[in-house]
Amino acid sequence: MTIQYLKKSPKTSSTDDSKTTEIVKNLLKEIETSKEDACISLTKKFDKYNGEIVVSKEKIEKIKEELDQKTKDDIQFSHERVRKFAEAQLKNYGQDFEVELSNGLFAGQKLIPVNTAGCYVPAGRYAHIASAVMSVTTAKVAGVKNIIVASSPKPGVGVHPSIVYTADLCGADSILNLGGVQGIAAMTNGLFGNAPADILVGPGNQFVAEAKRMLFGKVGIDLFAGPTEIAVIADDKADEELVAVDLVGQAEHGYNSPAWLYTTSKRIADYVIKRVPELIAELPDLPKENAGAAWRDYGEVILCDTDEEMATISDEYAPEHLEVQTQNLEWFHKRLKNYGSLFIGEETTVAYGDKCSGTNHILPTKGAGRYTGGLFVGKFIKTLSFQRMSKEATKTVGAACARISRYEGMEAHARTGDARLRKYGFSN
């Protein structure tokens, strides 16, 4: 049977996006400049409110006392079920499940991979073979059926031969001689005979990152990526030469790649400040140019008094790559909370993770390690919830839903519960 639209909407959910974007952009700029004063002013303007901004403990307690018990009971009913479902999700993280939340009410989740993934593989300054491995392999293992790779072509050659080989080996279904914004846009819009990508992954320069940011919503993305970063935590027992070499190892990525050292050792700090420029001077021209600019403009050496201070400053920065070269490795492993990927002990280094040791090198930058991790199979898998329930369960769920909806002022929502209560012979 041919699909027929018996009613077709004249608008889409994106119809008003351009106007909204401009308004929000201006409001965010105003708040960034004037901070709290702007928030207060805008609240007066839009909400006609001129009271306290942070709700006081006294106000909370007063509301608890004054709110009628039936309302509190209904809210508690909702809270209990949402909490039970969240607990079941945590217990069954990464797998399908179904659980009975209360008598006759069942809920669960299914994990379904996206259909099409677009993998961007940078090849501007360097041919990033490892980026093809990281993105395509992970998508393939996740169960993605259609994998597109886009990478910058070289004149008369096209995509670097080693990237073509890698993408094909790892399971790419289509490889495009397209880099930059055009590569990102082509995968998003399903050009050159491909299906539109459901998600875009992979590192790239600032133009690639901005294209992904602007297209987010129309397509999913792995993360908002910036220039690559390295931080090293080192105490006085660290090998100072390894620390310096590792900082330079990441700085060669580009002129704007931060390299940070957090140390409790003045000796290590002094050595690194002297040694890093020497190591950079020994590099070939392109890495030397990149690393020199990166260390000059983005390099930092931070001297701390204690291990706790090093951990605190590291968590504030939330570096993409974090090496720990200290005596107390286990303590740091347990204590540190914000990073993209952690390299424990001098035996490992960021380059191992970048190229071949197994962990993914597509990682959060610019402090995003505070709220997300890097690329993993879960990025390609949708966690979809479902629920089913007996007619008997409507007696409690339908009644509570109707009342909560009316507390909120959403009458049409309430009536969907009412209709079922009537049909199944219950009263609200």
Residues with catalytic roles = 320-321
H/E stretch holding 386: strand 381-389
Q: Would you call 353 helix, strand, or coil by DSSP?
A: helix
**CA distance linking residue 323 with residue 369, whole number of Å:** 15
User: Of 230, 233, 229, 231, whose CA–CA distance to 325 is shortest?
Assistant: 233
Nearest-5° angle of CA 282, CA 287, CA 291? 85
Beta strands per DSSP E along 271-364: 299-303, 321-325, 341-344
User: Of 121, 207, 190, whose CA–CA distance to 159 is shortest?
Assistant: 121
Q: Residues 319, 369: contact at Cβ < 8 Å?
A: yes
**CA distance linking residue 207 with residue 189, whole number of Å:** 17
**CA distance linking residue 195 with residue 180, whole number of Å:** 19
Angle between helix 180-189 and helix 206-215 axes, rounded to 10 deg: 30
Q: In this structure, what DSSP letter does residue 156 have?
A: T
Q: Would you call 426 helix, strand, or coil by DSSP?
A: coil
